[in-house]
Amino acid sequence: MKLLDGKTLSQTIESQVAQSVKRLKQETGRVPGLAVILVGNDEASQAYVGMKKRACDRVGFYSVTHEMPSSISQEAIEQTIVMMNENPNIDGILIQLPLPSHIDTTRLLELVAPSKDVDGFHPFNVGRLSTALDGFVPCTPLGIMELLTKYNIDLCGKECVVVGASNIVGKPLAALLLNAEATVTITHIQTQDLASHTKNADILLVGVGVIGLISEDMVKDGAVVVDIGINRNSEGKLVGDVCFESVSPKCSYITPVPGGVGPMTIAMLLKNTLKAAQIHAQEAK
């Protein structure tokens, strides 16, 4: 069994991004800019935004966080997004999810300019992904694809089973795997007999948010297992959705939690923001 080491790969990507930022600055005088919208005081959201901000600082991006109370109105968030859409110093806009229940999240995501949609959640970019056209791809699935590529894990013709079908993880991941010519099964909470699907997987990718959902009897010998889940157990430790102890001896490759998919997600946010900045710089010429 080998670990798919997202921590090390993300550090390599960060230094490549930092180099590109220097070059962009020398050639155009511009630095990539990321605006983050953070609503309320959810601890996990604050921690994620903090990690993203520190990563931006490390690679030399300009970044700004718009912190808003959970009582904020839909209108006020919309005004901020419109301002960021028009601000030439901002290349990427990220709305940290989830938002309070009185906020219409879909409406906000649709308001972000597709050229600044570094999270890849706007229907324009979702459509481009599902038709295999270039665009912005959600960071977590994109990071998983980079990790699989780095370890030369061939996807063409392989049985890939995705557990979890959210708009931010499972669905875009399935689209990327399909674009890579894998045979893709998507499973979710209503799936009958989950194990009958997971046992067929050459590559099993799990993003659900349920500790220990995948046990050793649900995994084929020699499978590649990608654990996307981030959960805190009763001892306060970060764990995934896969029982690492019992599943890992059966795998050819497996991601650790933490240190697998998580750091790749942040690295992809940096890559997407750099890509947006490069496109904007080109357009400004």
**Residues contributing to the site for ligand NAD (CB under 6 A):** 140, 163-166, 168-170, 187-189, 191, 194, 207-210, 213, 228-231, 261-262, 265
Are 221 and 253 spatial neighbours (Cβ–Cβ below 8 Å)? Answer: no
d(CA 117, CA 114): 5
**Residue 96 is a catalytic residue:** yes
| DSSP run (H or E) holding 227 | strand 224-227
Tell me phi and psi for residue 204, to 5 degrees.
-110, 125
- Concerning whether 119 is annotated as a catalytic residue, the answer is yes
Residue linked to tokens 């009763």: 234
Nearest distance, CB of residue 78 and ligand NAD, angstroms: 23
227 catalytic residue (yes or no): no
Shortest distance, position 188 Cβ to ligand NAD, whole Å: 3
SS3 for 267?
A: helix
Query: Minimum Å distance from CB 119 to ligand NAD?
Result: 11
Q: How far is the CB of 201 from ligand NAD (least distance, A)?
A: 14
Nearer Cβ to ligand NAD (140/248): 140
Q: Which is nearer to ligand NAD, 8 or 19 (CB)?
A: 8
Catalytic residue among 96, 117, 227, 275: 96
* Edge-to-edge strand ranges of the sheet holding 203-206: 2-3, 253-254, 224-227, 203-206, 159-163, 183-187
DSSP state of 258: S
C-beta closer to ligand NAD: residue 24 or 261: 261
Catalytic one of 119, 202, 227, 241:
119
Comparison of 169 and 175: residue with beta carbon closer to ligand NAD: 169
**Are the C-beta atoms of 128 and 135 separated by less than 8 Å?**
yes
* Catalytic residue set: 52, 96, 119
